[in-house]
Amino acid sequence: MSCFITEGYTLDCRNASVGGLKSLWILGNSGNTISGYTTNVDDEITAISGSGVFYKFELVKQSSSLTEAITVNTTSQSVVFEPTLTINLPKMATSLRNLFQNLVAQNNIFAIVEDNNGRYWSVAFQNGALVTAGTLQTGQAYSDLNGVSALTIVGGEPNATQEILVTTTLAAVMTGITVSAE
């Protein structure tokens, strides 16, 4: 990769982008892994290989986000990209409690998100991510969230989050990995 800027950026129409996440898929750990992926000339992921199942999490509208901070150490000339998923999952039940506990226990979480623009993004595909915060709560007022609040999944990667080029289905991009509930 060149260290030089080779092009500029043109603004699109103001209605071209909507914030938030629509869906999340988590591969997790325990034998599930991403063994490799292929990119095109634009650095978009076109194929993913590995083993396991990407489990789908349906997300409540306007409740979840993906952000990516950059940490730079000028002395060591290092740059770390820190993708952070923040999700809320409603309706506390034993199944949600067990899922919460299992996510916290994972050593390497590999994730894919679909944003509200229909684009898919890789999260922590190289080093994996960890749950770093979250709350399982009943809420207090009738309108409060009852469920998992601000579950935070954080990674540390050598490269920025990459778009996954999905032309038909997410499963069509995978080799050796199953995608549940697409």
DSSP string, 59-106: --TTS-EEEEEEEEETTTTEEEEEEEEEEEEES--HHHHHHHHHHHH-
The per-residue pLDDT for 7 is 83
CB 116 within 8 A of CB 123: no
Task: Report if pTM > 0.85.
Answer: yes
CA distance 132 to 123: 15
pLDDT-derived band at 2 (thresholds 50, 70, 90) equals low
- Give per-residue pLDDT as tens, 122-160: 999 999 999 999 999 999 999 999 999 999 999 999 999
Domain boundaries, the chain: 21-179
Alpha helices, DSSP H, located in the chain: 94-105
Q: Is the pLDDT of residue 29 over 70?
A: no
* 178 strand-pairing partners: 53
